[in-house]
Amino acid sequence: MQYRAQRIEPIFGSVLLRRVFYSIAALALLSLCLIIAGDYLGHTISLGGHTEDTTPREIVIGNSVLELPANTIRFDRQRRDGDAERVDLYLHWPDMMGYQPSFLSDFNGAGPEKRLLFLNFEPRATSQDMSGRYGPIYSTLTEGPGSKGPAGLTIQKFRADSDFLNEELLLSAEQAGQMPFVARCLDEETSKSNLASCQRDIFLGEDLQLTYRFPREILGDWQKLDQQIRTFAEAHLKGQK
């Protein structure tokens, strides 16, 4: 009797079993990827676009070079080295620091007090900063001598035809050799629902303009605030003494 030799196929030799094995392996790999991605994305979502990274980013605007910690830069797309038309920052006040977990509520606008400052650096668009524009521009758009404001400031109302709807001008007293502090703010009622209802701009270096927005609630510390803004900016402007 003759016996026909039979070929014994290995377990993976079956097309069906091979497909089942690969499917199971693929599902296992996908599950692992989802777990890893879930951990990463969960952390990212909890940050709400903020970053704890303090790596310095060298940003060139015109002829000026800024070196800024990544966690002070507001938008992810701007956390890059190289040329830029502008860069937007946010800082925790009064410590002038970028995002960190202990500041999460304040950075999300959910803290008991308004503690965020918003800054943007860009090329100068005017011949004078806000203080310099008071005489030729803002003084012609406001009414009367004004009323008493916080910490020695004067509150001046804009004329109804000035296009500055619901805004007021805050002005410090003139001092010899010093330009006045000038800021535009939303009125008190409108400011209640706004994280940073006041705005002021200053010049830096040879060709930079820094515009910063801040809560009306901290106008009582306007001198400290303005000095802190200048100190922060000059400390991060390369080549600035």
For the record, the structure tokens of 86 come out as 């502008």
Query: How many CB atoms sit inside 10 A of residue 217's CB?
Result: 16
> Considering Cα of 230, then 231, then 236, then 241, what sign does the dihedral take?
positive
User: Could you tell me where the DSSP H helices lie in the chain?
Assistant: 15-47, 104-107, 130-133, 139-141, 188-191, 222-235
Kindly list the domain boundaries of the chain, sorted by start residue.
Answer: 11-47, 56-235
Q: Which two tokens stand for residue 178?
A: 């010093």
What contacts 136, CB < 8 A, 6 or more positions away? 128
Tens-level pLDDT at each residue, the chain (241 residues): 444 444 434 444 555 555 545 555 555 555 444 444 444 333 333 446 899 999 999 999 999 999 999 999 999 999 999 999 999 999 999 999 999 999 999 999 999 999 999 999 999 999 999 999 999 999 999 998 899 999 999 999 999 999 898 999 999 998 878 899 999 999 999 999 999 999 999 999 989 999 999 999 999 999 999 999 999 999 999 976 5
DSSP class per residue in 139-163: HHHEEEEEEE-GGG-EEEEEPTTSS
